[in-house]
Structure 1
Amino acid sequence: MTSTFNTRRRILNSIAAACLAIPLSKSAYSKSIGYAFSGPAADRGLGLLPLRPCTSGTRSSTAGPFYTPSTPLRSDLREPDTKGSTLVLEGLVMTSDCRPVAGAVIDIWHCDENGRYDNIGYRYRGHQYTDAAGSYHFVTIRPTIYTGRTEHIHVKVQGEGTRLLTTQIYFPDQQAHNAQDWIFKDELLMELKKSDQGWHGRFDFIL
């Protein structure tokens, strides 16, 4: 069973790598991110307003060594045995002149509550498409720190015809760990609030 699953993963990864290497038409695949552009998702966030002026693009950051392509299409990344604190993460994907990017692919991944990445399966990995208002919405858990790194979530996002943004977003209540992380940047801090259900994070991406 494990051997069959690993073989399937290798095949999927090979296909994804091939898609990234071959220029494809915009109606089929993004040239950079490797997912089909299927149009906007159902409206989720028509009430969201931009957090700040859209004058410059979101700062990029390294993808790190743990990126896995071909993640599941889903908005809820929690697992049946999830033990971490629930995090609702939402926001907008916009252009530099504050136009919503509908149907953009947003792919996120992060470590688990023990600081480990799943490099075999898709635990705490997934992608979705923004709605007509450029809104995205994930439900996951708060990752934790691990050696050399503060709490963070990795993101790849791209709209049809836009640049591919690869970056990381951070938690503002981790000042001490943020200060010790050489990759951390202040402008990549999310807005964060505590709620009865866990945590609510907000970050807008400008392409």
Structure 2
Amino acid sequence: MTEEHNDDGTTRRSFIATGTAATAAVALTAAGVGWAGSSLAEGQTLPLTPQCTDGDDTPPVIEGPYFRRNSPLRTNLRTAGVTGVLLSLTGFVYDLRCKPLANVLVDFWQADQRGAYDNSTTAYRGRGHQFTDANGAYTLETIIPNEYPGRTPHIHVKVQAPRGPVLTTQLYFPDNTKAYNVNFAAANRRDAYYIRDTVIPLGPLTANRYQGKFDFVVRTA
């Protein structure tokens, strides 16, 4: 596969390779709080991660066994054969001083509507990377992944500012998410890697689609 280059000539491969050892030194935080029409049940509250404040960060989550290098450059993971409950995810990437960061690598991978990863084909189904725009924004069109034995539904992601360390983490879903007859509350409780700090705040389910927002905070050196 042809290796993509960002504007300063750095390849995606060098982005990932240079920061692997520094995974624990990076951080993220969820955002999008106070949405009108939240999907939370009446009287239920979701503990919020800290909004971006100078020097504020939260721990990463393990990579897991299914990461594959050289995913396609794309913002839409809903390729042929991928169906399910839709998710439109947006957000920004900030540095520790809350400055939006342009040209940041954001690499996603996830299970499909059956709870399966595409590990054996060249289609890279459920996988893709992109770079933040001039305002530090990213956008992802995908589906809510299904659970599989031992794991609650989640989305994997690596985030890396140009020549910075790599943040490897996993994004989770609120307890009252509705998809595939999964009891998200029970699945979240059972998952040893689940942390509420990386839950995506979701709007209401409308026409089989959730809108979510998640902002990342990463180190740049």
The TM-score, its normalising length taken from structure 2, stands at: 0.71
Instruction: Report how far residue 91 of structure 1 moved.
Output: 0.8
Contact 2:52 2:217 in 1 (8 A): no
Give 2:52's aligned residue.
53
Instruction: Report how far residue 83 of structure 1 moved.
Output: 2.1
Contact 1:58 1:205 in 2 (8 A): no
Q: Note closer, same or farther for the CA distance 1:189–1:101 as it changes in structure 2 (3 Å cut).
A: same
SS in 2 for 1:192: coil
Query: How far apart in 2 are the matches of 1:99 and 1:156?
Result: 19
Give 1:172's aligned residue.
174
Query: How far apart in 2 are the matches of 1:28 and 1:177?
Result: 39
Give 1:200's aligned residue.
211
Instruction: Report how far residue 34 of structure 1 moved.
Output: 5.0
SS in 2 for 1:61: coil
SS in 2 for 1:57: coil
Q: How does 1:144-183 map to 2 (within 5 A)?
A: 144-173=146-175, 174-183=184-193
Query: How far apart in 1 are the matches of 2:10 and 2:134?
Result: 19
> RMSD over aligned Cα, in angstroms?
2.4
Contact 1:57 1:205 in 2 (8 A): no
Query: How far apart in 1 are the matches of 2:112 and 2:79?
Result: 10
Contact 2:158 2:167 in 1 (8 A): yes
Query: How far apart in 1 are the matches of 2:56 and 2:71?
Result: 29
Give 1:28's aligned residue.
10
Unpaired stretches in structure 2, ≥5 consecutive residues: 19-30, 34-50, 176-183
Q: Choose from 193, 196, 199 the match for 1:186.
A: 196
Give 2:98's aligned residue.
98
Instruction: Report how far residue 58 of structure 1 moved.
Output: 4.0
SS in 2 for 1:178: helix
The TM-score, its normalising length taken from structure 1, stands at: 0.76
Q: Note closer, same or farther for the CA distance 1:113–1:141 as it changes in structure 2 (3 Å cut).
A: same
Unpaired stretches in structure 1, ≥5 consecutive residues: 1-7, 16-25, 36-48
The structure richer in strand per residue is: 1
Contact 2:155 2:171 in 1 (8 A): yes
Instruction: Report how far residue 93 of structure 1 moved.
Output: 0.5
Q: Which has the higher contact order (CA 8 A, sep 6+)?
A: 2
Query: How far apart in 2 are the matches of 1:50 and 1:135?
Result: 13
Query: How far apart in 2 are the matches of 1:50 and 1:147?
Result: 30
Q: Give the length in aligned residue pairs.
A: 173
Instruction: Report how far residue 32 of structure 1 moved.
Output: 4.4
Query: How far apart in 1 are the matches of 2:87 and 2:59?
Result: 23
The residue type equivalent to 1:28 in the other structure is T
SS in 2 for 1:33: helix
Query: How far apart in 2 are the matches of 1:171 and 1:191?
Result: 7
Q: Choose from 132, 135, 147 the match for 2:134.
A: 132
Identity of counterpart residues, as a percentage?
A: 38
Contact 1:50 1:92 in 2 (8 A): no
Q: Note closer, same or farther for the CA distance 1:50–1:191 as it changes in structure 2 (3 Å cut).
A: closer
